[in-house]
């Protein structure tokens, strides 16, 4: 996809984030976050990260929205007022983090740069070897579940442990 | 308690789309070697089909998915992954080395099918964890 399309999608992303923060009705905020996830998935797909786009679409736009809606059903749709000092503190943290990210973003290699460290370190080894060594043409799958299988094993354990923790914290249904 | 939806359109649609979505989840799992997808995405789709069933047909439609079974399935997925890794350690010398496992005609194809085995473990864990959390979140009384 062309660069103007990605720019337009990024602008839509900022708009949806603002709606999610500003909405007085939390149902509106939850739906805006779901739309945010979907637009983010489109951006991933547009810049060629199709596996990430797939995950973002099913988790960010799908599963998290359902979880938010289920949580709203058991609590309240109304936003509880945030004390003034906490609001300003949160704004300061958000501005500092965003500013720091923007400041270092200029130092990143341009998108798709073949001489970037990420493209020259171990990536060529995996891209050249995946088909011959693992008979798996999708190099992302070969890296995730074979070359970097330790990471995925512990990641699966993390998902299960996080689910177990949430299950214990939420308590028995009444 | 999640109630069954009143509309016959909703319940019929969910009944029709669920098996298709579950088939698609298996496709995403098995075709992750060639196209975008894999264990994690397949697990979320599979979990979402049961969430959809629960939302449309009520908790009663998921009566066989009680919390004990979901917890056991979540643990079983992780253990399947771990067991594949340990099998590599026991057969050869390296943890998570699928090439030495008797899964395919050549070491490369053994790694190909080894990936499928561990991805199946990921799918089972992700789907079970998703449904488990959903049931805890949604299966209570709504606050008045």
Question: Hey, is A47 helix, strand or coil?
Answer: coil
In this predicted complex, what is the ipTM?
0.90
pLDDT of residue A24: 87
Is residue A28 in a domain? yes
Q: Which of A2, A57, A7 lies closest to A35, judged by CA?
A: A57
Mean pLDDT across A164-168: 91
pLDDT of residue A57: 94
The reply to whether A116 and A78 lie within a common domain is no
Residue percentage of chain A with pLDDT more than 70: 98
The reply to whether A2 and A76 lie within a common domain is yes
* Contact (CB, 8 A) for B89 and B82: no
Distances (CA, A) of A145 to A153, B13, B27, B36, B80: 8, 35, 17, 13, 13
pLDDT of residue B87: 92
DSSP 8-state secondary structure symbol assigned to residue A148: T
Instruction: State yes or no: pLDDT of B132 exceeds 70.
Output: yes
Residues of B within 8 A of A129 (CB-CB) are: none
Q: Which of A72, A150, A90 lies closest to B95, judged by CA?
A: A150
Mean pLDDT across B7-29: 95
- How many structural domains compose chain A? 2
pLDDT of residue A87: 87
Instruction: State yes or no: pLDDT of A124 exceeds 70.
Output: yes
Q: How far is Cα B83 from Cα A73, in angstroms, rounded to an integer?
A: 40
Q: How far is Cα B106 from Cα B113, in angstroms, rounded to an integer?
A: 11
Indicate the pLDDT class of residue A42, thresholds 50, 70 and 90: very high
Q: Which residue is associated with the tokens 């990260």?
A: A49
pLDDT of residue B60: 86
Is residue A101 in a domain? no
Q: Does A120 touch chain B if contact means CB atoms closer than 8 Å?
A: no
* Contact (CB, 8 A) for B10 and B56: yes
pLDDT of residue B141: 56
The reply to whether A133 and A76 lie within a common domain is no
Instruction: State yes or no: pLDDT of A76 exceeds 90.
Output: no
Indicate the pLDDT class of residue A2, thresholds 50, 70 and 90: confident
The reply to whether A115 and A76 lie within a common domain is no
Is residue A50 in a domain? yes
Q: How far is Cα A168 from Cα B52, in angstroms, rounded to an integer?
A: 23
Please indicate whether, in this complex, the C-beta atoms of A150 and B96 are within 8 angstroms of each other.
yes
Instruction: State yes or no: pLDDT of A81 exceeds 60.
Output: yes
Of all residues in chain A, the one with the smallest CA distance to B75 is A160
Please indicate whether, in this complex, the C-beta atoms of A141 and B122 are within 8 angstroms of each other.
no
The reply to whether A76 and A115 lie within a common domain is no
pLDDT of residue A174: 52
The verdict on pTM exceeding 0.95 is: no
Please indicate whether, in this complex, the C-beta atoms of A62 and B44 are within 8 angstroms of each other.
yes
Residues of B within 8 A of A159 (CB-CB) are: 125-126, 129
Please indicate whether, in this complex, the C-beta atoms of A149 and B82 are within 8 angstroms of each other.
no
Whole domain around residue A141: which residue ranges?
Answer: 111-174
pLDDT tens, B50-102?
A: 999 998 998 888 888 888 999 999 999 999 999 999 999 998 888 999 988 89
Is residue A100 in a domain? no
Indicate the pLDDT class of residue A85, thresholds 50, 70 and 90: confident
Please indicate whether, in this complex, the C-beta atoms of B112 and A135 are within 8 angstroms of each other.
yes
CA distance A157 to chain B (A): 6
* Contact (CB, 8 A) for A143 and A51: no
Residue among B45, B121, B135 minimizing CB distance to A58: B45
Of all residues in chain B, the one with the smallest CA distance to A159 is B126
Residue among B38, B118, B133 minimizing CB distance to A167: B133
pLDDT of residue A34: 95
pLDDT of residue B142: 56
Is residue A95 in a domain? no
The reply to whether A141 and A65 lie within a common domain is no
Residue A94 tokens read as 């958000």
Instruction: State yes or no: pLDDT of B143 exceeds 80.
Output: no
Mean pLDDT across A54-69: 91
pLDDT of residue A172: 65
Instruction: State yes or no: pLDDT of B121 exceeds 70.
Output: yes
Q: Does A121 touch chain B if contact means CB atoms closer than 8 Å?
A: no
- The backbone torsions φ and ψ at residue A25, rounded to the nearest 5 degrees and listed phi first, read -90, 120
The reply to whether A130 and A78 lie within a common domain is no
- Reduced 3-state DSSP string for chain B: CCCCCCCHHHHHHHHHHHHHHHHHHHHHHHHHHCCCCCHHHHHHHHHHHHHHHHHHHCHHHHCCCCHHHHHHHHHHHHHHHHHHHHHHHHHCCCCCCHHHCCCCCCHHHHHHHHHHHHHHHHHHHHHHHHHHHHHHHHCCCCCC
User: What residues 90-119 of chain A have any CB closer than 8 A to a CB of chain B?
Assistant: none
Mean of all residue pLDDT scores within chain A: 90
pLDDT of residue B63: 87
pLDDT of residue B2: 77
Is residue A59 in a domain? yes
Please indicate whether, in this complex, the C-beta atoms of B41 and A157 are within 8 angstroms of each other.
no
Please indicate whether, in this complex, the C-beta atoms of A159 and B41 are within 8 angstroms of each other.
no
Is residue A160 in a domain? yes
Please indicate whether, in this complex, the C-beta atoms of B78 and A160 are within 8 angstroms of each other.
yes
pLDDT of residue A3: 86
Q: Does A142 touch chain B if contact means CB atoms closer than 8 Å?
A: yes
Is residue A143 in a domain? yes
């Amino acid at each position: 996809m062309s660069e103007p399309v990605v720019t337009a999608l990024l602008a839509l992303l900022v708009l949806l984030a603002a709606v999610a923060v500003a909405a007085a009705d939390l149902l509106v905020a939850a739906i805006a976050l779901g739309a945010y996830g979907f637009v983010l998935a489109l951006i991933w797909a547009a810049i060629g990260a199709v596996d990430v786009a797939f995950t973002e679409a099913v988790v960010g736009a799908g599963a998290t929205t359902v979880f938010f809606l289920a949580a709203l059903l058991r609590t309240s749709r109304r936003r509880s007022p945030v004390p003034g000092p906490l609001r300003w503190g949160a704004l300061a943290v958000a501005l500092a983090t965003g500013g720091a990210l923007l400041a270092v973003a200029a130092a990143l290699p341009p998108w798709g740069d073949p001489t970037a460290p990420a493209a020259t370190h171990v990536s060529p080894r995996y891209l050249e070897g995946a088909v011959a060594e693992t008979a798996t043409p999708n190099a992302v799958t070969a890296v995730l579940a074979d070359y970097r299988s330790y990471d995925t094993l512990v990641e699966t354990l993390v998902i299960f442990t996080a689910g177990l923790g949430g299950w214990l914290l939420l308590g028995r249904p009444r | 308690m999640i109630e069954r939806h009143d509309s016959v359109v909703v319940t019929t649609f969910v009944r029709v789309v669920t098996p298709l979505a579950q088939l698609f989840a298996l496709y995403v799992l098995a075709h992750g070697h060639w196209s975008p997808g894999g264990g994690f995405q397949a697990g979320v789709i599979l979990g979402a089909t049961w969430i959809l069933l629960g939302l449309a047909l009520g908790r009663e439609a998921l009566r066989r998915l009680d919390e004990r079974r979901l917890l056991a399935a979540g643990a079983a997925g992780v253990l399947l992954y771990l067991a594949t890794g340990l099998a590599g350690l026991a057969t050869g010398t390296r943890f998570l080395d699928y090439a030495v496992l008797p899964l395919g005609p050549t070491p490369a194809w053994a790694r190909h099918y080894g990936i499928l085995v561990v991805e199946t473990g990921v799918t089972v864990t992700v789907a079970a964890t998703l449904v488990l959390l959903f049931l805890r979140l949604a299966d209570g009384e709504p606050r008045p």
